[in-house]
Amino acid sequence: MQTLTVQHQKFLKKLNNQMFIILLLMVACFFTWSENVAITRGIKVVGRMGVMLSSILIYRKIIRYGSVNSLVYKNIFSPLLYIGYLTLGFISFSWSTNPGFSALQWFMTFQSFVFAYFFVKSLKILDIYFEGHQIRLYHLLGNTVFVLQLVFVIGMWVNPDVFFRLTDGGEEARLGGTMMNPNELGMLAGVGCACLIFDLYRFKNKVWTIVKILVIFYALFMTGSRSSLIGVLLIIFFHINQTKQKTLKFAIIAVVCAVAPFAVYSVILKGGDQERLEEVMSLTGRLPFWKALITEGLPREPLLGFGFMRIDYKEFFQSAHTYPGKMTHNTFMQVLMNLGFIGLTIVMFQVFFTVKSILSEQKELKLMLIGILIPIVINSFTEFGIFGESNYGIMFYQIIIFSVAFRNNDHLTRLQRITLRKKRPDLLISHSK
């Protein structure tokens, strides 16, 4: 039995590295690493296809090693309504104002959907058949975010022309460059902080984890993303209320009190500049744009919209008093414009059942999923969000959906019991009880 345990440890260590690599590559494939359109499309479509297939192979590897697919569905309305949203999006190709663009966006969203399905399913199978394993979603995702943010932190010093994006007429430099929208990069930082905080609970040596969080927080500050900063502060205060470790609680409060005033003044209040502050109050022009979308754009196609990820008959929507926009900068407004009131109804019920399912989970999973949900939902009100154009926020939301969609079926089939008897006889006794 000791030899078998060592074999499990070797297998799980290798598997942990492989799952980290494919998650890292999947998130990295959402970035625009090259200005060459062909290379970018190759990475985003072909690259993600390869990673998606890798997630299937990882799942099959776990099954072959010593487990069976004994998972059944729970909280079925959350994944079912999301499939309904994707189905309506697929049907909308027939009335889309640009079927090719709609199809490309839908395909990339479906890719991440399949990836999330097999990635989460692999973790759930490990929980059942490798009790005590150390592979955790928050650790994998937190380290993925740390590596990507570290690339940008190093890049901003090595090659600032590439890694910074000039905004407000060149007055402000924001981390992200042409590779990633600064607000999206800030949202990623929020997800990373939410995940790595759980390593503070788990590991005795917290120094390395704190270093990772500080690097991510520094990257977040340099993105200048107001919404993401608010999201991270909410996550931190959320964990302060949850933890019973007084030392950890006081340490977190001390760090927040030291950093928050400076961060809020510089990022949210923009250094007290009156003109910039007025711009912030209008959400940098988003409020008049949303008003124009509702009053001018929506009445043209109110029920079924303009097609998946389309907001007008033309490439850009523009009112007489707003800037031209290809997307709405609000994920729920995006659904309303591209799939109409029918699509928005499906989406609102889907979100409701997802949140309801999260709140019914056991404590650790519930806290982790809420932590991930906070930054991506905040981002959804000002950027691409969980139902917008293809971005890693959609994939994180899909991971959340499947994290609450599976449970173990204790009643194995005859074939499954035979399979376990051959591969894992040590498990047969526990499953027969």
How far is it, in rounded angstroms, from Cα 52 to Cα 77?
Answer: 24
SS3 324: coil
- Is pLDDT at 433 greater than 50 in this prediction? no
* pLDDT value at residue 62: 94
* pLDDT value at residue 1: 39
Is residue 250 very low, low, confident or very high in pLDDT (cuts 50, 70, 90)? confident
Instruction: Give the range among 117-121, 150-154, 252-256 with minimum mean pLDDT.
Output: 252-256
* pLDDT value at residue 340: 95
CA dihedral 293, 295, 301, 306 (to 10 degrees): -10
* pLDDT value at residue 278: 58
Is residue 407 very low, low, confident or very high in pLDDT (cuts 50, 70, 90)? very high
* pLDDT value at residue 259: 65
pTM, two decimal places: 0.90
What is the 8-class DSSP label of residue 270? G
* pLDDT value at residue 2: 43
What is the 8-class DSSP label of residue 325? B
Which tens digits make up the pLDDT trace of 157-201? 998 888 888 776 666 788 988 889 999 999 999 999 999 988 887
Is residue 60 very low, low, confident or very high in pLDDT (cuts 50, 70, 90)? very high
Which tens digits make up the pLDDT trace of 101-145? 999 999 999 999 999 999 999 999 999 988 888 899 999 999 999
Alpha helices in 29-98 (DSSP H): 37-41, 48-66, 77-91
How far is it, in rounded angstroms, from Cα 226 to Cα 264?
Answer: 8
- Is pLDDT at 314 greater than 70 in this prediction? yes
152: tokens are: 């940008």
How far is it, in rounded angstroms, from Cα 180 to Cα 164?
Answer: 10
CA dihedral 353, 356, 362, 363 (to 10 degrees): 130
Q: Average of pLDDT values for 346-373?
A: 94
Is residue 428 very low, low, confident or very high in pLDDT (cuts 50, 70, 90)? low
- Is pLDDT at 82 greater than 60 in this prediction? yes
Average predicted confidence (pLDDT) for the chain: 86
